[in-house]
Amino acid sequence: MTLNKTEMRYKKLLLFIITCYAISWGCWIPVLDKIESDPFNSPLSVLLLFFIGAYNPTITGIFLTAFFDGKNGLKDLKARLRIKKAETKWVLISLIAGPILYGLAFFCYHVFNGQVGEVNYGLLPWIPIVFIVPIIFGPLAEELGISRFTRSLQVLYSSSMVCSPPCLFNFST
């Protein structure tokens, strides 16, 4: 039985989704009750499984690209990660959006009588890493994950595809 191009694309996407859910939840379920409110107090094995689950879509995207498309697919993937020229104001806005939202959430929490504990000043240097690393390498870097497998399907349809979990397969024609 030979699959046409469209069927193969659907099978790749389905494999990607099933693999991501299986590995991510396979990592998270055993440690859900072991994560401390201060993650740095959690055992290393718990943190490792948590982050493997979180970064799994990226890892799976890379492995499946290598499996299905070989070196050419990986080269294409790498080429898509190059930073495009953008106006400086948009780069700055994108870099400060996370800290601004975090600060706003902190402010609202405090205004509504939330009790803020002591600040661990030793963790402050980690703030840029916490915001930037996930954007480039992690769950937010969907270029390496699901968009890699849905992009080829978007070409088949005249309008764009909505790609959120409830309507993942809702293609408009």
- The answer, yes or no, to whether residue 165 has pLDDT greater than 70, is no
Half-sphere exposure of 32 (CA within 13 A, CB side): 6
Quick check: is 173 in a domain? no
| Overall number of domains in the chain | 1
Residue 32's SS3 state is coil
Quick check: is 72 in a domain? yes
Quick check: is 80 in a domain? yes
Quick check: is 78 in a domain? yes
pLDDT digits (tens, 9 = 90+) for 51-61: 888 888 888 88
pLDDT digits (tens, 9 = 90+) for 12-57: 888 988 998 999 999 999 998 888 877 778 888 998 898 888 888 8
Quick check: is 105 in a domain? yes
Quick check: is 146 in a domain? yes
Quick check: is 118 in a domain? yes
**59 CB-near residues (< 8 Å, 6+ apart):** 52
pLDDT band at residue 159 using 50, 70 and 90 as cut-offs: very low
Distance CA 122, CA 135 (A): 23
Quick check: is 172 in a domain? no
Range of the domain at 137: 5-167
